[in-house]
Structure 1
Amino acid sequence: MPLDRLADVVRHSCGGRGELVAAAGERIVLPGEVFEVLRLVVLAMAAGQAVTIAPHHQTLTTQEAADLLGVSRPTVVRLLERGEIPFEQPGRHRRILLREVLAYQDRHRHQRRASLDRMVEISEEADLYEVTADPRRTR
């Protein structure tokens, strides 16, 4: 079954159940949580998004954390040194739990959203949207 067709099928099966069918015909009923994860993976892949599945207790190198966050390795090292992301250093190399990187990413996303919301609020209070909405008006 092509990916687009599979995406159409799972898109309309929220809260449903699924089964895996082995080559020999053996059927395995999937728990709802597993089915939901697989459904989201199929939808993401159909949308052309990259998908990575890893346990939250997995450890990452600073370069892997940087790649996940979309920043440079030195930026990750600075975040670690400032205490923004907890890490362990059993020897020479720092090790970071995936769940800690994801928690930082979530906190950072919320902070960024709050900052943008505040900027919009300030702009609205100053009627800056009205000023820029009319291209004939200049400051």
Structure 2
Amino acid sequence: MATATSPTRLFTHERDADLARDVLGTLEGPEGYLSVGRGDTAQPLPRDVGVLLQQVLEAIASGATVTVTATPSEITTSTAAAMLGVSRPTLMKMIARGDVAAHKVGTHTRLRTEDVLAARSARRRRERAAFAALLEAEGDEA
């Protein structure tokens, strides 16, 4: 049985991996569309929840440790900076430039988690595009 070391971390044992592989083998329907229930009373899950559960099952099936965290809808600048992998002063410059939306709560700057995740995705897309351009330029030189 898996051992919970905190409410959000699960170390997988071989029996857990076997059970997860069995469940993954019985999933039907398009990816991310799962249902739960007993007998004839299956209820569909929201697609994103289905995708998440499949990812958790795949991680357990491979013997990985699974960590689940919840992030509030509104976060502090320190949390946002950590999520983006930048310093807090750099984040504040990004906010000033309009790269990331933010708002004030009294004297404190707050950000929506959704906006921070969107900024992180956009940054990753730009990095991938720059890397692809670099690889292409190196290929042209050869």
Q: Does the TM-score normalized on the shorter chain lie above 0.5?
A: yes
Asked if structure 2 preserves the Cα contact closer than 8 Å seen for 1:61 and 1:94, the reply is yes
Asked if structure 2 preserves the Cα contact closer than 8 Å seen for 1:66 and 1:72, the reply is yes
Counterpart position of 1:9: 22
Q: Which amino acid aligns with 2:130?
A: S
Counterpart of 2:68 (choices 45, 51, 59) is: 51
Question: Secondary structure of the equivalent of 2:43?
Answer: strand
Note the residue ranges of structure 2 that are not aligned, 5 or more in a row: 2-14
Counterpart position of 2:82: 67
Cα RMSD (Å): 2.7
Cα separation, partners in 2 of 1:99 and 1:116, compared to 1, 3 Å? same
Task: Work out the percentage of aligned pairs sharing the same amino acid.
Answer: 30
1:108 and 1:101 mapped to 2: Cα distance? 10
Q: Which has the larger radius of gyration?
A: 1
Q: CA deviation at 1:83?
A: 1.0
Relative contact order, higher structure (CA 8 A, sep 6+): 2
2:114 and 2:20 mapped to 1: Cα distance? 28
Q: CA deviation at 1:44?
A: 4.2
Cα separation, partners in 2 of 1:95 and 1:8, compared to 1, 3 Å? same
Asked if structure 1 preserves the Cα contact closer than 8 Å seen for 2:56 and 2:66, the reply is no
Q: CA deviation at 1:5?
A: 2.8
- Give the number of equivalent residue pairs: 120
